[in-house]
Structure 1
Amino acid sequence: MKTVPLKSVMSQNQHRIVLVVDDSLEDRNIYRRYLEQDNKYSYTILEAETAEEGLKLSQREPDVILLDFMLPDFDGLEFLAELKAKYHLKHLPIILLTGHGDETIAVKAIKGGAQDYLVKGRIASESLRHAVDNAIKTAALETKIEQQSQRERLILQITQQIRQSLELDRILDTTVSEVRKLLQTDRVVIFRFNKDWSGAAISESVAPEFISILSKQIYDPCFGNNYVEHYQQGRIRIVSDLDSGKLNKCYVNMLAQFQVKANLVVPILLDENLWGLLIVHHCSTKRKWQQIEVELLEQLATQVSIAIQQAELYHQLEQELNERKRNEAALLQSEENLRQINARLLQMTNQYKQRNQELDQFAYIVSHDLKAPLRGIANISTWIEEDLGQQVAAETRKNFNMLRSRLNNMQNLIDSVLNYSRIGRTQIAIETICVADLLDEIIYSLQPLSNFNIVISPQMPTLQGRKVLLQQVFTNLISNAIKHHHCEGGKIEISVRDLDTCYEFSVTDDGPGIAPEYQNKIFAIFQTVEYRCKNDSTGIGLAIVKKIVETEGGKMSLESQLNQGAKFRFTWLK
């Protein structure tokens, strides 16, 4: 067996390694000559005359294997089986070559893991290069899909752990253990910050040959100045080679004491505050991190964030429960004490109901986890389309475009759900609002048709409040009146009444109106009079409006008759 490098002016990025397992020198020379004619790639050819030699050379991890069916020691199908068993390979970039066109052998070869089957007498330079290219790309795509499947299984497993247990230590230990196993790396830790940006690894999975950093207090003097802002913004740090010379020296020195050669760091955020880091260390060699690995860690950081918040809330509830028991024991000594206990129990019951409602708000965090798979689906569809190139039929290309459009609509729906979840939990400054000017800005931004008449009452007030919330309420009501109007032209009237402690605003249109059976439903989330796909409605707009109004201390109401328009009223505190 020998190695024959083929000369080419192509860059190393265009280089491929081909293993030829064939006892015919003449055939091997033909394959080499055909590959030399490739202007796109350069090749290094590894040659083996027997299956045994071929199995040894397979350790060099060639990009593709050209395998003769009839070998001196055993046939190609036996070689395939031995290769899969010996190296635990699932997706083999192998092309089986035979001197006879036997369909039975072809079927067995494909089932055995080969990517293609060629008859020797019919092989031309173009067909060989095309088969090699397809085999490499197909095996790579299958590997990528398998990695995606592994990632989804891991996410599902950890998510189930979160739902089944409120023991934070157990959840974190599962996370680091499974991540290290999946990424086949040397150390995975979850690091928690102190107030001075020092901290410690509170959970770790590490290979036996490397040191443990569990519970060690770590302080990086350059962290607070250089990195905290980036992590606060959710940025990910990727280092493929610690000795590249491109990194901050104090950061390199800090990692070097832990034997790190490459690392991957994802922030763990709680309510947009930096809590800690999910860190992967590769200590044996430098390592080029794949995008799928980065996305996996990003998803898991979100799941860890959910687990931490659940555990902290559970601990808080447990403390409150213990406090209640102590109070009950002290108040049992008299009837007056018993009355106070009952009052306290009622109060605590209401608090627990509120806590349960707060738990429901975790939906907005889970919604974040939907974004990464959507991006993954969009990326995979683009990769498939690019791999197929000009082979994509017009109808298939249309379906790809439709898929990406539906993904975009799903993204908009997720964003709307997140906006709904954040209402009342985000700090917004009070400012002076000139309602007339605000309405002019909204109408200008919506750009209704010229034959659409919008009349604003001249008595619009100036008040103190949260401008962005009032703007969102008016924008939703006015845009709905325009979007759902049954005519190209219509009329909208916006009026106000002074009710001493508050203002009552009305938005009235002359559109199709809303039937009585729908009027109690349209303020609920995901409820709409029409199909959501008809005008890209998410069914969340009026739910957001009602929640904003009630969060600001107001009330929302509707008056409408079918075919007689609709009047939305809401109050806003002065």
Structure 2
Amino acid sequence: MESMLQHLYHSVLQDKVLLLIDDEPMNLDMLAVYLKKYPVKILVAWDGKSGLDKAQRAHPDLILLDIMMPEIDGFETCRMLKTRVDTRDIPVIFMTALTDIEHKVRAFQAGAVDYITKPLQQEEVLARIVTHVRLHHLNEQLEQKVRERTNELVRTNQRLQQEISERQQAEEALRESEARFRRLAENAKDMIYRMLLPEGRYEYISPAAADLSGYMPEEWYANPELIRTIIHPDWQTYFAFQWEKLLQGDLPPEYEYQIIHKSGDIKWVNQRNVLIRDTENKPIALEGIVTDITARKQAEEEVHRLNVELEQRVHERTAELEVANNELQSFAYIVSHDLKAPLRAIAKLSQWLLEDYGSAFDAQGQDMVNLLISRVKRLDNLIDGILEYSRIGRVDSHLESIDLNQLLPEVIDSMTPPPNIQIAIASELPLILGDTTRIQQIFANLIGNAMKFMDKPRGIITISCEDAGADWRFSVVDNGPGIDPKYHDKIFQIFQTLQPRDEFESTGIGLTIVKKIVELYGGKIWVESTIGQGSTFYFTVPKKSESF
């Protein structure tokens, strides 16, 4: 038993600090000698003031305090210890020869945990010291656990408050969301609904049902079969088929059908659906929007009717154009045969007249015959131009890959430019798909016009091409007289010339032919020019064109 107590005392007092406050050295020496047998640190103070200082610095695990001391007695010293934050929790045991109840009560009122009477009994003192050190240690552990538990409870409470606040906010947001949805649904022109499955009972019907079907929401709630009664007979089989698919979880996102309004009117509706499933993937509800599309259907029917009429008109117009085209071909034949033949005869007779009887004419007579010959030639060229213009787009072209680097020099050589006009190709030219004759006509007309109207002693004509994305953009530039901007559109019109025909022989068809060929290939042509500064004719040819 003794060894067990000694073991307990050693374990409790291990590394503990005891403060002894007494003005009697003998008491201090006795206690110090006795306690040195244990693993405890002993501090001593001779009066209350030094005891307070050491307690504040060392913060001992227990204080043994004498009552009867000079200056500051034990009661006052204990009260001062208990008023200080850093010493108030240190247990204090009074040591005194005073044994009356009044002094004991004062000791406990001052904050002591125990009271030992003198003369001191070593075993009693040791037992009380060990008991209160152990109790103090247990109290500290308990307080630590209480603090930890309190902190945990505070944190838990904060989390709960946060969760409660978040839940309240979520509930408020949900209420606001439901209110917004209800306002939207209540004011929507489309009928919004939610139907419970498989019973087919409506859980919600928006007020728009009244305009759409003629039946109030209350009538829909009271009669789940109402939808079946208003389906148009032509759509009953379709609707029954879709209902069976719905119960199996298969539903198209939307479909259109006809209903019979309460007034008897037939309406077209579009229904968009969302199938709601439970955690086992079974259909539990159907949510959707039903829109009145009667006006749209009527418009579609009107468009279809107009399309049929338009197709009929196109067919009739095509037939008329085919007749006109045939007539045009006949006219072209008449022009080329019946008109050109007399012209050739007139030209030949005029030439013979000038050759055989020219010496009989005076100067005025010869001028008149020459004028007749030139007018016949002009008329012949005009007829050729009209025929050529009429053939473009009507006579099938032979499409082939054309190397403009080879074709363009041949066109230039064939035109025999005069010595004072220089024609240059300023860039590499592309390969294009087209009809060789038509492409030759484009360049020949543009280059020929630049040569014909050149007014400079040294004329320069430059041809170039650049990549314009989906197109090739060609340009024919000259340093000739230029063209007034107000005539930039007029020159592409048939029979339009800017110079008197007696000064410059021209039919006024060349640029019209060029424009028609370019547009036939899906391109564009335009001119940029300023009077006295020359002209630049641009035209584009698509790199890939369905027109080809």
Normalised by the length of structure 2, the TM-score is 0.39
Larger Rg: 2
**TM-score, normalised to structure 1's length?**
0.38
